[in-house]
Structure 1
Amino acid sequence: MIADQDARELSPFTGWTRGHWTALADRMLRALRPLTSPGGARIVLPGPTGGLGADVDGLEGFARTFLLAGFRLAGERGHDPDHLAERYAQGLASGVDPASPERWPRPDEHAQAKVEAASLALVLDLTRPWLWDLLPERVRAQVVDYLSPVVGDDGYPRCNWLWFRVVVQTFLRSVGGPWRAEDVESDLALHEGFLRADSWYSDGDERAFDHYTGWAMHLYPVLWSRMRGARELTDRSTVDVQRLDRYLRDHVNLIGADGSPLVQGRSLTYRFAAAAPLWAGALAEVPSTPPGLLRRAASGIVRHFADRGAPDERGLLTLGWHRAWPRIAQSYSGPSSPYWAAKGMLGLALPADHPVWRAVEEPLPVETGDRLWVATAPGWLVSGTRADGVVRVVNHGADHAVEGAHVGDSPLYARLGYSTATAPPLSERAWSTPADQSAALLDAAGRATHRAGMSLLRTGLIDDGRVALGASRARAHWLADAPPARDHGSGRTGEHTDVALITVVSLLRGPWEVRCVRVDPLPEDPGALDAATALRVGGWPLAARTPPEVSALPHGLTIATGDVVSTLLTAEPGDTLEALSEHDASPLGPHSATPCATGRITRSRWRAYAIGLARTTEPPAAPTTGLAAADLRVTWPDGRTTALDLDEFSP
């Protein structure tokens, strides 16, 4: 490993060099040896059987750690003191042998095998001289036979899965196996259909904006273009690199100074897979983000988790965020699933003499100054503050649904706010009755309405770029009670009852959002609103190992956990303020609390709240709001003022 002094000079922000990365990878791979089946085909992590069954758990354990082993082999140009190629070649032979007791479920037997087949194909292509070329002819023929069912299979979901079929068929073509040009063409056309503004991709037809944009929709095109024969099919590398380049300009602005990625979206247990598009940028040599920034961002993300218990003391990745927290699992998650985090270690495939390893680290955007901008595709207002290194998102356009849908709010997607210092609670209550980062109507039983399917009204910068503005409107609806279930990430479905129109307008500056809320009767059924008894507005949820400290303010509430403070202020004198507490609801700690203001419903009248989040030991100075009918005036802590006519957003 590189000397400490040299590490500080090369990596002044994270202290991590390639030696730290290789040491972490080797520790992770060695920790798997006792968990590997006798034939090497199945690697199953400790814990209950996953939602897709034990056979899939074993396959995932092999295929996803195969990614890490493959990156390690490629970056060392085949130098292999740990005999990774030998070990994984043995497992591969057992997994594709129909007569083996360890054989894997095939892509035509279990849908998840289609996912894992892509990892097998990627690494076999990446490591050809040291693995594929040395396999016995019988094994190579069985690999082709195992992968071949993907050809002509139209049962792939309309999402990032399209790349699994493209990758596998490209590999099959390169080794003389079956493939269909029309499959590749249709999948690439589908990929184009998911392109949104500023080179963001949705992960499917819904407004599904999350880490899959980076670790799937931008990663696979770069890796695929380097597979043997890919550019003979179609050379789209230039446009893919241009799009990745544009996306990374946004991506690096969504990373906290402490290395935390945004805690939003499904599959969070993949953790530092969030670094994958950064390494793809280094591999593709994107022009706009320098190598030193790409490595600083990637090292920051991985070190963020490594310093907080992932991998654990055994060298294993568990279901969780920092440490083990099984509730983070989705319906498709198993004990081996977290190893898709290996994508975030793609940089190991770049040799030690690559420019990204030799460049001096450069600071993240949030470390150089306050950042205020709008991510157009998901309808996000984004504020990163240099003083505390926190990045906040106010969400007016993403919900993992389509506009007009009547589904439940997914805590992972439909909340009004996400950040690098907080996590949405994932309790049963959080799925059925939104509270944190919400504006919801309550019925007599305390049941809250949902906003998914809302309409994005406007996003942009105002006041010479000093304030971000966002607005959305929802047909607030209650959902009939549904039985608890492990979710895929989307909001739940069920019988719905429309209640009212709720319009939310946000002004974001620094650590503060001024949130204006208006409730209007449904034009076609004004009486539906009579069933609602109160309006509740929730702020930033905090979680820690000990109960958060709650403090009352003259017109608000603060919640503090260590050095993070969540504040909610209300201009309505009759509002009731409370800290909604839960146990074991957050991956950030067993004790969580959310500041909420609950008050009477004032039909067709605007109400204003100030909602703050800062990493500080003292509550930050707050903005003041003046609201007369639809005329809003905000005085920010530095004395600047913003005036807004809310009539523009009235129904």
Structure 2
Amino acid sequence: MERRKFIGTASIAGAMAALLPGETVASTTQSNGNLYAANGSKDRAYWADLLYQMMNPVFTNLANNTLVKNMPVEASPTYDGRKNVTYLEAVGRAAAGMAPWLALPDDDTKEGKMRKDLKQKFLKGIANGVNPSSPDYLNFTKEYQPIVDAAYLAHAFLRAPEALWEPLDDVTKKRVIKEFKALRTRKPWNNNWQLFTALTEAFLLNIGEEWDKEAVNKALGKFKEWYVGDGWYSDGPRFSFDYYNSFVIHPMLVDTLEILASKGVVPKENYDLALKRMIRQVVHQERMISPEGTFPVIGRSITYRNGAFQALAQAALMHQLPEGVSPSQVRCALTAIKKNILGRDTFNKEGWLTLGFCGHQPDVADYYSSTGSMYMASLSFLPLGLPADDDFWMGKPEDWTAKKAWNGKNFKKDYHVDY
């Protein structure tokens, strides 16, 4: 598969042309509609190169025991000082987004070599991250924030068990399990955090470990109470208009219930209903993408950038897109977003993500945001877990709903739902 040719200065272009697994580079992504011919294979090459570029600094350094040494820690001007957790944030969030891609079989293509490289670095890196003697020993035991980012790491294991969990040696597995269970010394806040605990405990159940059924039931009860209708959950007792239904709520609730249903802990109907509600949320997500490939800058955590579309990406990965929304139109919409948002100043000169939304804009970062937090952007890359010959990649380019509507083309009408 042809690798993406980056645009930029002569020196940067030369460096990018020579990109090999293991190297760290800065971004030269441009929002250029003519950068690629309009076909799915070129889109896939662009996604794969971009995800590799984003992931490589994190897992190269973790594998080399140099993450703490080399990762810059840029923080919000209002940062509350949770620096000890930023490294776990980077690892967990990055892993959750790249996991389906790494689950694909090895092959000798350029993309396959990138996948294999990242997979090897992940496996070596996790062994370091849970080794108390390592300089990159990750913080699972202090402060509350590890509740969040352990869950993203657990999500990665669930999304790619054969690639990312099963190959770990027994010592590393036991250490991961110990760290996950150590989280029980702290309780999640009364909002989307309930699902972080639920997903981590569901992972433990899934691998045959003792799990905290009471904590999981509490989370499920809260989100049954917090459903407000038409595919939207309240993030706690009061509704907030932001992207947390996609950053956290729908993907983690659906995947938690899938495990519980498969183990006979809850009726399958519970999972089916959660999935229906996520699909309804995805209708809204797809329609929020403008004809130009932008989306509303609303709510907190906007520096998670394109991670706002995790629910849409997961529905595509699961082949569960809403009726009337084709894989091709989702691919084209998400590609347009990536070209718009992951361009200027998104990466520093060493290849690490910067704080900001469309560029380096640290003033829009929230008080809990630092460099590691930014790796939530990986979550819109989930469809890379679909094979290259899947309809998502091979379908002819197609306009997404807003682009059809604003160009005077026919588009599907929308109505609320009652479930």
2:94 corresponds, among 65, 68, 74, to 65
1:129 corresponds, among 155, 159, 162, to 162
Question: For residues 181 and 57 of structure 1, what CA distance do their matches in structure 2 show?
Answer: 29
- 1:558-579 deviations in whole A, cap 9, x for unaligned? xxxxxxxxxxxxxxxxxxxxxx
Say whether 1:195 aligns with 2:233: no
Question: For residues 274 and 141 of structure 1, what CA distance do their matches in structure 2 show?
Answer: 33
1:347 corresponds, among 378, 383, 395, to 383
Say whether 1:261 aligns with 2:295: yes
**CA 1:45–1:260 in 2, change beyond 3 Å: closer, same or farther?**
farther
Question: For residues 286 and 360 of structure 1, what CA distance do their matches in structure 2 show?
Answer: 17
Say whether 1:20 aligns with 2:46: yes
Aligned partner of 1:305 in structure 2 is 341
Partners of 1:64 and 1:119 within 8 A in 2: yes
Structure 2 counterpart of 1:17, one-letter code: D
- 1:194-250 deviations in whole A, cap 9, x for unaligned? 211211112221221211122222222344455597553323332122112222222
Partners of 2:3 and 2:49 within 8 A in 1: no
TM superposition shift of 1:80: 5.3
Q: Equivalent pairs: percent with the same residue?
A: 25
Question: For residues 294 and 66 of structure 1, what CA distance do their matches in structure 2 show?
Answer: 22
TM-score (ref. length: structure 2): 0.78
Structure 2 counterpart of 1:174, one-letter code: N
Structure 2 counterpart of 1:142, one-letter code: R
Structure 1 counterpart of 2:291, one-letter code: A
TM superposition shift of 1:127: 2.6
Structure 1 counterpart of 2:221, one-letter code: A
- Aligned pairs (5 A) from 1:407-422: none
- 1:511-559 deviations in whole A, cap 9, x for unaligned? xxxxxxxxxxxxxxxxxxxxxxxxxxxxxxxxxxxxxxxxxxxxxxxxx
**CA 1:130–1:26 in 2, change beyond 3 Å: closer, same or farther?**
same
**CA 1:43–1:51 in 2, change beyond 3 Å: closer, same or farther?**
farther
**CA 1:361–1:251 in 2, change beyond 3 Å: closer, same or farther?**
same
TM-score (ref. length: structure 1): 0.52
Secondary structure of 1:134 counterpart: coil
Secondary structure of 1:124 counterpart: helix
Structure 2 counterpart of 1:177, one-letter code: E
Q: Where does structure 1 differ by over 6 angstroms across 4 or more consecutive aligned residues?
A: none
Partners of 1:41 and 1:90 within 8 A in 2: no
Question: For residues 295 and 39 of structure 1, what CA distance do their matches in structure 2 show?
Answer: 36
CA RMSD of aligned residues (A): 3.0
- 1:13-65 deviations in whole A, cap 9, x for unaligned? xx952111111112222344675474266586424456343321222122222
Secondary structure of 1:196 counterpart: strand
- Aligned pairs (5 A) from 1:504-583: none
Question: For residues 202 and 69 of structure 2, what CA distance do their matches in structure 1 show?
Answer: 26
Question: For residues 40 and 119 of structure 1, what CA distance do their matches in structure 2 show?
Answer: 21
Partners of 1:305 and 1:311 within 8 A in 2: no
TM superposition shift of 1:314: 4.5
Aligned partner of 2:201 in structure 1 is 169
Aligned partner of 1:402 in structure 2 is none
- Aligned pairs (5 A) from 1:388-407: none
Say whether 1:321 aligns with 2:357: yes
Secondary structure of 1:336 counterpart: helix
**CA 1:327–1:3 in 2, change beyond 3 Å: closer, same or farther?**
closer
Aligned partner of 2:124 in structure 1 is 90
- 1:584-625 deviations in whole A, cap 9, x for unaligned? xxxxxxxxxxxxxxxxxxxxxxxxxxxxxxxxxxxxxxxxxx
Say whether 1:283 aligns with 2:314: no
- 1:457-514 deviations in whole A, cap 9, x for unaligned? xxxxxxxx9xxxxxxxxxxxxxxxxxxxxxxxxxxxxxxxxxxxxxxxxxxxxxxxxx
Aligned partner of 2:178 in structure 1 is 145
Aligned partner of 2:399 in structure 1 is 363
**CA 1:228–1:302 in 2, change beyond 3 Å: closer, same or farther?**
farther
Question: For residues 243 and 202 of structure 2, what CA distance do their matches in structure 1 show?
Answer: 25
Question: For residues 350 and 42 of structure 2, what CA distance do their matches in structure 1 show?
Answer: 21
TM superposition shift of 1:306: 2.7
TM superposition shift of 1:312: 5.2
TM superposition shift of 1:309: 4.0
Aligned partner of 1:113 in structure 2 is 146
- 1:168-200 deviations in whole A, cap 9, x for unaligned? 111111223221222212211111222112111
Structure 2 counterpart of 1:295, one-letter code: R
- Normalized per residue, which structure has more helix? 2
1:185 corresponds, among 217, 227, 245, to 217
Partners of 2:258 and 2:271 within 8 A in 1: no
Partners of 2:354 and 2:374 within 8 A in 1: yes
Unpaired runs of 5+ residues, structure 1, are: 371-385, 388-464, 466-651
Partners of 2:285 and 2:309 within 8 A in 1: no
Question: For residues 17 and 265 of structure 1, what CA distance do their matches in structure 2 show?
Answer: 29
Partners of 1:281 and 1:294 within 8 A in 2: no
TM superposition shift of 1:113: 0.6
- 1:624-644 deviations in whole A, cap 9, x for unaligned? xxxxxxxxxxxxxxxxxxxxx
Aligned partner of 2:39 in structure 1 is 10
Partners of 2:58 and 2:91 within 8 A in 1: no
Structure 2 counterpart of 1:51, one-letter code: D
Question: For residues 326 and 358 of structure 1, what CA distance do their matches in structure 2 show?
Answer: 38
- Normalized per residue, which structure has more strand? 1
Question: For residues 48 and 351 of structure 2, what CA distance do their matches in structure 1 show?
Answer: 13
Question: For residues 109 and 150 of structure 1, what CA distance do their matches in structure 2 show?
Answer: 9
Partners of 2:303 and 2:364 within 8 A in 1: yes
Question: For residues 368 and 219 of structure 1, what CA distance do their matches in structure 2 show?
Answer: 28
Partners of 2:328 and 2:392 within 8 A in 1: yes
Question: For residues 167 and 299 of structure 1, what CA distance do their matches in structure 2 show?
Answer: 29
Higher gyration radius (CA): 1
**CA 1:131–1:307 in 2, change beyond 3 Å: closer, same or farther?**
closer
2:80 corresponds, among 51, 56, 60, to 51
1:332 corresponds, among 368, 372, 375, to 368
Question: For residues 3 and 336 of structure 1, what CA distance do their matches in structure 2 show?
Answer: 27
Structure 2 counterpart of 1:213, one-letter code: N
Aligned partner of 1:213 in structure 2 is 245
Partners of 2:82 and 2:368 within 8 A in 1: no
TM superposition shift of 1:150: 3.7
**CA 1:313–1:68 in 2, change beyond 3 Å: closer, same or farther?**
farther
Structure 2 counterpart of 1:74, one-letter code: A
Question: For residues 142 and 29 of structure 1, what CA distance do their matches in structure 2 show?
Answer: 23
